[in-house]
Amino acid sequence: MRVLVTGGSGFVGSNIVEVLDHHDAEVLAPGRAELDVTDAVAVNRYVEATRPDAIVHAAIWNDPAGLLTDRRRAWEAYVGATRAVVDAANRAGAHVVLVSTDWVFDGTQGPAPENESPNPVNTYGFLKAASELVVAERAERGTIARIAAVQGIHRAHPSTPRAQDAGFGYLAASVADALAAGRRFKVWDGPGLNRLATPVLATDAAEFIFRALEQAATGTLHCVGGEHVDRVTLARRSAQAFGFDPERIDVVDPDPAIVGTQPVPVDTRLDATATATQLGLELPDLGTTLQRLRLQLQAIQS
């Protein structure tokens, strides 16, 4: 299987590349200098030249402030790029998978099943929801793979890029980094945050995506774990999983300078029961997710 991965140097994308490599797929992961996904002509030319069996579209413009100040670029980076990828996939007869997010929901729908209608409350969620529509209505063989509260390591840049933000991303690894260095960890809790979600290890989400490609599964999939959790519980259970005292976790108010002013969906729990049944996968509980993360961190540190 030959798979083109856009955004392959990013956090989620690099883990997708890792898992596809593990399954002996032939992976194409061009950087932005090699392929600008907002350039429809360039995307079509690249796909025509390489003839992938599938395209996993994980590329995003990861700049929350920029999404507000340059809306034209934001639209093209998300919706325009998705349209370009889908059209090129259709011409090549390739299966296309869009990596989407639990933030397409407004925070009142949890736990949301795969057929729940999106209702985003911020720019990022809106752009992802609009991109989902492109796949649902335009792709001849299309899959929407929603992920949530992604934990793991960045395969291209193993050090955690931030301690935490309004979402859950990197939280478990950040806890481990702080406690291993002898520091206490201050987990945020309060208004303006995503406070309930369904975490998944980045490599587990990638396994869902590989299985979808292998089985030619289309439609909307929830590529998440099997256990919902709040931020404070995730931080404390992460401490325990890594062999530290959970009492070294302090609960504090969020940093407003980092959180920003846009609304954030409070409860983005996803129900992945139908996805697990469709793909024949068992949803990992939080303990399993954290133990797998611990092994991954040990592997890169050894």
Nearest to 46 by CA among 63, 59, 33: 33
pLDDT > 70? residue 161: no
Give 160's pLDDT tier (boundaries 50, 70, 90).
low
CA distance linking residue 127 with residue 224, whole number of Å: 21
- 2-301 maps to CATH 3.40.50.720: yes
- Average pLDDT, integer, range 173-186: 95
Sketch the domain layout of the chain as residue ranges: 2-301
Kindly state the DSSP code that residue 267 receives in the 8-state scheme.
B
Kindly state the DSSP code that residue 4 receives in the 8-state scheme.
E
Q: Among the options 46, 78, 124, 170, which is catalytic? A: 124
Give 302's pLDDT tier (boundaries 50, 70, 90).
confident
| Predicted pLDDT of residue 162 | 65
Are the beta carbons of 227 and 149 closer than 8 angstroms?
A: no
| Predicted pLDDT of residue 300 | 86
pLDDT one-digit tens code per residue, 215-240: 999 999 999 999 999 999 999 999 99
Give 88's pLDDT tier (boundaries 50, 70, 90).
very high
Angle between helices 11-22 and 202-215 (to 10 degrees): 60
258 against 126, higher pLDDT:
126
124 is annotated as an active-site residue:
yes
| Predicted pLDDT of residue 39 | 98
Cβ density class 212-249: b for 16+ within 10 Å, e for less: bbeeebbebbbbbbbbbbbbbbbbbbbbebbebebebb
Nearest to 136 by CA among 200, 63, 182, 86: 86
Alpha-helical regions (H) of 23-80: 40-50, 64-69, 71-75
Nearest to 203 by CA among 4, 7, 6, 19: 19
